Amino acid sequence: MKKILVIGATGQIGSELTMALRNIYGGQNVVAGYITGAEPKGDLLESGPSEICDVTDAVAITEVVKKHNIDTIYNLAALLSVVAEGKPKLAWKIGIDGLWNVLEIARENKCAVFTPSSIGSFGPNTPHYMTPQDTIQRPRTMYGVTKVTTELLSDYYFLKYGVDTRAVRFPGVISNVTPPGGGTTDYAVDIYYYAVRGEKFTCPIKEGTLMDMIYMPDALKASIDIMEADPSRLIHRNAFNIASMSFAPETIYAAIKKYKPDFEMVYDVDPLKQSIAESWPDIMDDSCARNEWDWKPVYDLDAMTRDMLEKLPLRILK
In the complex, the residues that contact ligand AKB under the rule CB under 6 A are 80-81, 118-120, 143, 170, 172, 180, 183-185
CB of 204 to ligand AKB, least distance (A): 12
CA distances from 105 to 57, 75, 316 (A): 11, 12, 40
Pick the closer one to ligand AKB by CB: 98 or 180: 180
Pick between residue 50 and residue 185 the one whose CB is nearest to ligand AKB. 185
- Closest to ligand AKB by CB, 14 vs 172, is 172
CB of 144: closest distance to ligand AKB in angstroms? 9
> How far, in whole angstroms, is CA 53 from its chain's centroid?
19
Q: CA dihedral defined by 30, 105, 74, 29, rounded to 10 degrees?
A: -10
Cβ distance to ligand AKB smaller for residue 166 or 273: 273
**Shortest distance, position 280 Cβ to ligand AKB, whole Å:** 7
CA gap 122, 283 in Å, rounded: 12
Whole-angstrom Cα distance, residue 290 to residue 118?
A: 17
Strand, helix or coil for residue 7: strand
Q: How far is the CB of 46 from ligand AKB (least distance, A)?
A: 28
Under a CB-based contact definition with an 8 Å cutoff, are residues 117 and 281 in contact? Answer: no
- Say which of 143, 157, 194, 215 is annotated catalytic: 143
Nearest-CA neighbor of 7 among 58, 81, 80, 69?
Answer: 58
Q: Which is nearer to ligand AKB, 40 or 204 (CB)?
A: 204
The angle that helices 301-316 and 249-257 make with each other, rounded to 10 degrees, is 70
> CA separation (Å) from 20 to 77, 164, 234, 279, 303?
18, 21, 24, 32, 20
Instruction: Count CB atoms within 10 A of the CB of residue 181.
Output: 12
The answer to whether 253 is a known catalytic residue is: no
**Residue nearest to ligand AKB as judged by C-beta position:** 183
Q: Nearest distance from residue 95's CB to ligand AKB, in Å?
A: 12
Active-site amino acid positions = 143
